[in-house]
Amino acid sequence: MRASVPASPPRTVVVALSGGVDSATAAGLLVRAGHRVIGVTMRLYDARSTGTARGRCCGPRDVEDARRVAEHLAIPFYVIDLETAFTRTVVDDFVTTYLDGKTPNPCVRCNQHVKFTPLLARARALGADALATGHYARIVDGPDGAPALARAVDADKDQSYFLFSMPAEALASVWFPLGGLTKPEVRAEAAALGLPNAAKPESQEICFVPDGDHAGFVAAAALTRGRALPTAGAIVDGSGAELGRHAGVHRFTIGQHKGLGNLRGLGPDDRRFVTAIDPVAGTVTVGSRTDATTDQVALDEPRWLGPAPADGAVAVQVRHRGPRVPATLERGDRVRLTLSEPVVAAPGQAAVIYDGDRVVGGGWVASSSA
């Protein structure tokens, strides 16, 4: 495979350096191709207040790693403070969504509101022709000849799911140099470029949540925002019979089976999954795996990367690691999807619509398909 780097003419490109190996390799490939590259790192949150001083995307250690990469590549380097925009559009949404008994996707919201809006504006202010990132995705020609978003060649690393909500008008100004490479090829390129973070391990955690404890983060954030924290409530079965107690609905998501505690009346091999969350009543309903799935999905805030598609056959992916499932799209008073097989679709999660490898658009799973 080949890196997705335009060879000529030389362009001025801002690269969003996260401190990780992927964005660093994207910058290195662009430098090697002869482009004028400017490195930019976003400061998104106060790591001292979140306890994330080390080992997280966009934390202090990562800023320094990005600076070292820029020095190695001999490119200009800037740190841009986007904490206010990030807090308002990503962190606050994360907290509110969990308090409402839904499941947020902060990476999608960040791409929608931060990376491809204010960051792209900053890139243009620096005189850049394009903004490049280390995402595993591709820009291709759409059916109408306009730029379109498509899956990366490395199916295991593809990140097009997280990018569906980026502004459609940004597609003409965004480059994804790694879209044609596999992860091992990226590691090899990083070593060949002599990048100082070539062997840096990946971080899969939410950047602003310390130790992966999202419930603890939500609880602390709710207090600082003057929000009432969900109180303890009942875990019930489909008939309403109480099986146990919980410490707050913000600790659960549809399809979850771990962390339910010892439920009464179940054998050692009986597994229960969260099937419904009622933040008002404070109840968490559990049932079988089948009970936690659905083949009917309605979308809130639908977004399209181009003209809205006609009703008919598409493929839908719910959750980053979820499969793409054939579905029938119907647009009316709201967007509805009938899937060929049931999936776990938690309200608040992103549901991304594909036509082949091309991202058509998507939205957020509604609380009800009615």
Reference 221, options 43, 48, 46, 50; nearest CA is 50
Answer yes or no: are the C-beta atoms of 35 and 203 closer than 8 Å.
Answer: no
Q: Which among 145, 197, 200, 193 has a CA at the least distance from the CA of 5?
A: 193
Joined together, the tokens standing for residue 35 give 């482009």
**What's the CA gap between 205 and 20, in Å, rounded?**
13
Q: What does the alpha-carbon distance between residue 181 and residue 84 come to, in Å, rounded to a whole number?
A: 34
Residues 6+ apart with CB under 8 A from 123: 14, 38, 40, 130, 131, 173
The three-state secondary structure class of 253 is: coil
The reply to whether omega before 9 is within 30° of 0 (cis) is: yes
| E strand intervals along the chain | 12-16, 36-43, 77-81, 130-132, 137-141, 147-151, 174-175, 233-236, 242-246, 273-278, 283-287, 294-304, 312-318, 324-331, 335-343, 350-355, 358-365
Other C-beta atoms closer than 10 Å to the C-beta of 172 total: 10
Q: Which amino acid is at 124?
A: R
**Where in the sequence numbering do the catalytic residues fall?**
110, 207
Q: Report the alpha-carbon distance of residue 357 to residue 353 in Å, rounded.
A: 10
275-290 as b/e: b if 16+ CB within 10 A: bbbebeebbbbbeeee
Structure tokens that stand for 139 in this block: 């820009």
